[in-house]
Structure 1
Amino acid sequence: MEKTQTYRLKRLWFLVPGVIALGLTWLAQLSPTATETVYARGIYPWISSIWGFLPSLVSWSVAQWVVVAFLAFCAGWFAFYIMALARGRGERGLVLWKALTTMAAAVSVGYCIFALMCGLNYYRLTFAEDAGFELRESTTEELASLCESLAENMNEARAEVAGAMDGDSNSSDNTAAAAEADEPDSYAASRGGFEAYAREAVTNMEALAETYPALVRPLYSPPKPVLFSELMSYADIAGMYFPFTVESNINVDGPFFTIPCTMGHELAHQCGFMREDEANFIGYLACKQSADPLTRYSGYSLAYDYALSALIRTDREAAVAVNGTLSDAVRADRKARAEYLKQFEGPVAEASNAANNAYLKANQQTDGTRSYGRMVDLLLAEARQSD
């Protein structure tokens, strides 16, 4: 009997990490400035770099197999305790206690890792505050001007991609091959594909950190392609930062021109900026300074999507006029992306978005997924600062 009681008490020790994490989360909410100084810029870059060091050494996503192993563990755990309860007879109380405490221990330890590897960063200073961007109401004319500038930059970057591929082609008599070479996917493949762009994404983030020191960290784990990317498309997920391995996981199933900006977005999370609007903006900043035209094109495309959506809500005619300035190549790319995404519309994507919305609200992003729209304010602030 005494041995059983001791066993039961030992299991409760696994709840301590969760209690500590709750306490740290409470303290982080009290002072964003202290959280920024002590944790986000002090402790987090080092502990996350150490924690993520081993996964960073491989080119494939460790996270995807951690998820598979976790799901297998859950299925085995559930089956084991169902059978134990069925056979337990007089010991069913102890079996149930073991099941509940095992589950509580897993949640406690998991939540503690989550808090230390990203959760506390939700309470740091915003990137806008750190970088000195002035977020304020803007006129429709400012928004239209931003859209025009982004459209022009998109056209120029896309033309550079086509020009680079034309220059690389030595076959003037094969029009089909030339047409294929003009596509962003072919351009990316000719430059080394995903791995080359993953390395470049890290280089771009390191360069951006020279302007914005809040992005500095000892180790950037390069973005990883996910083997189960098609499943991510069904869930409407372009990328995911996985705090348990400190990896930036990328859906590689869609058009490649969307991938560089997704890499930047997920690396921004790795740098400790968890707000979605800010991660989008940081990804855009990292892409727009790149020497590679496809990377710039990706960043401008991301920014244009959000800016044009805002302009449509305020001045539809102006939005139609701006959209009419896009080149045929840009239009074709955007059409191909829309057709790709359309095939995955359905209840799975809706459920995934609902879950993401709940997650954002649980971490004090009270607008839920609408927080993505605040990127436009950052784009306008950056445009004013650049003038």
Structure 2
Amino acid sequence: MQTKTKNRIALSLLPQILLVKWLSFYPEFIENYYSLGFYQYCAKLFRFLNGWIPFSLGDLLYAVLGIYSIRYLIIKRKCMVRKPFYFLKNGIVVVAIAYFTFNMCWGLNYHRLPVSIAIGIKENSNRDDLRSFVQELIDKTNETQLLLANDSTAMIETPYTNQEIFDKTIEGYKRLEKVHPFLKYENPSIKNSLFSIPLSYMGYGGYLNPFTNEAQVNSLIPPFRFPVISGHEVGHQLGYSAENETNLIGYLVTVHNEDMYFKYAAYAYALSYCLSDIKQNDEALFQSLLPKINAGVLKNYEALNAFWQAYENSTEPIFKAIFNSFLIINNQSDGIKSYSKVVLLMVSYHQKYPL
């Protein structure tokens, strides 16, 4: 690449950042012309091109780039000392290209209108409504667990492979589309991540690769939680970036599935978030609710918790802090805490669409 070209690309980084910041003040524009316009064609094209590939093309791309970068740093280490500003400029060039590609392929969705507007709901923080909703969830979760196990003390073992769960997730989206047409999912591309072990150590259930539009799911996640995470990552593919919104979408597509194991996963997922919210704000109420939950349900929660505990390590908080900063920079002021704000949306949703 010629020096003049490199200089222009490097100098474009700041204007790019300012342009994205300026566009963030016009979510209606982004919604109409990017999220519902350009992005839809771009995303479907990527999923059409790589959805049929059985492995994660995006993960493979990251691996190759990572190896190349390490090799480059090793080979050029002496030159980096002699010409630090030259390599700094090269680094800025790479960042500028990546930033442009990220925003064109997916990133501008961080600044679109909230999914709550498309559904026609608002966040509901009323504590009485939450308590009422939790009681309904407990009844639904217990009822489904007992139906599946015929024993209130038995932990539910979801009998599906990861691929079967992916297939059922796609079917769930076909059903959800009938209720919410804007969540239509075409050209599916959901895959097990090649980085599932690292993802487990970092504490992540999955991610969307914005450069290939592949929904990556941590293949090690217990089947009890796998359906909702699959639905969550597809929600990102559909162009919804806020984590509380994709948590809601993941829950909705799972609970709308005809399969009872999926319904159980959805009810238990929603219940766990609501209980966590109540525990933080009303310990006495939390303790009074626990005895009402079937022992088998609690065993599923314990097994999921044991899975994450097995991968706990000293680096996990670092990765969480990095991701928290990434979310804040990208228009999610609550950072990682935004995940739990799904409770406000679920309470409101089920006031409009009762369980």
Q: 1:58 is paired with a residue of what secondary structure?
A: coil
Q: Which has the larger radius of gyration?
A: 1
Pick the aligned partner of 2:67 from 64, 72, 77.
Answer: 72
CA contact (8 A) 1:229 1:253 kept: yes
Match of 2:157 in 1: 184
CA contact (8 A) 1:17 1:109 kept: no
Q: 2:225 is paired with a residue of what secondary structure?
A: helix
Q: Distance in 2 between matches of 1:377 and 1:74?
A: 43
Q: Distance in 2 between matches of 1:349 and 1:249?
A: 19
Q: Does structure 1 residue 215 correspond to structure 2 residue 215?
A: no
Pick the aligned partner of 1:147 from 134, 155, 164.
Answer: 134
Q: Distance in 2 between matches of 1:206 and 1:21?
A: 37
Q: 2:45 is paired with a residue of what secondary structure?
A: helix
Pick the aligned partner of 1:206 from 165, 168, 174.
Answer: 174
CA contact (8 A) 1:239 1:250 kept: yes
Q: 2:211 is paired with a residue of what secondary structure?
A: coil
Q: Distance in 2 between matches of 1:207 and 1:19?
A: 44
Per the normalisation by structure 2, the TM-score is 0.91
Q: Distance in 2 between matches of 1:58 and 1:106?
A: 28
Q: Distance in 2 between matches of 1:206 and 1:263?
A: 15
Q: Does structure 1 residue 117 correspond to structure 2 residue 84?
A: no
Q: Does structure 1 residue 131 correspond to structure 2 residue 119?
A: yes
Match of 1:343 in 2: 310
- Structure 2 unaligned blocks of 5 or more: none
Q: Does structure 1 residue 295 correspond to structure 2 residue 262?
A: yes
Q: Does structure 1 residue 197 correspond to structure 2 residue 168?
A: no
Matches within 5 A, 1:230-379: 230-379=197-346
Q: Distance in 2 between matches of 1:308 and 1:295?
A: 20
Q: Distance in 1 between matches of 2:279 and 2:206?
A: 26
Question: For 1:295-342, what per-residue CA distance to the aligned partner results, in whole angstroms no more than 9, with x for missing partners?
Answer: 112222221111111222333333223221222221221111112212
Alpha-carbon distance, 1:84 to partner: 4.4
Match of 1:62 in 2: 57
Residue identity in the other structure for 1:314: N
Q: Distance in 2 between matches of 1:132 and 1:322?
A: 30
Q: Distance in 2 between matches of 1:17 and 1:73?
A: 25
Match of 2:352 in 1: 385
Q: Distance in 2 between matches of 1:241 and 1:17?
A: 26
Q: Distance in 2 between matches of 1:20 and 1:50?
A: 28
**Structure with greater helix percent:** 1
Alpha-carbon distance, 1:83 to partner: 4.4
Q: Does structure 1 residue 104 correspond to structure 2 residue 92?
A: yes
Alpha-carbon distance, 1:34 to partner: 1.4
Question: For 1:186-219, what per-residue CA distance to the aligned partner results, in whole angstroms no more than 9, with x for missing partners?
Answer: x22xxxx111111221222233233323323543
Q: 1:57 is paired with a residue of what secondary structure?
A: coil
Per the normalisation by structure 1, the TM-score is 0.84
Which deviates further from its counterpart, 319-328 or 243-252? 319-328
Q: 2:76 is paired with a residue of what secondary structure?
A: helix
CA contact (8 A) 1:240 1:250 kept: yes
Change (3 A) 1:158 1:227: farther
- Structure 1 unaligned blocks of 5 or more: 1-5, 87-91, 167-178
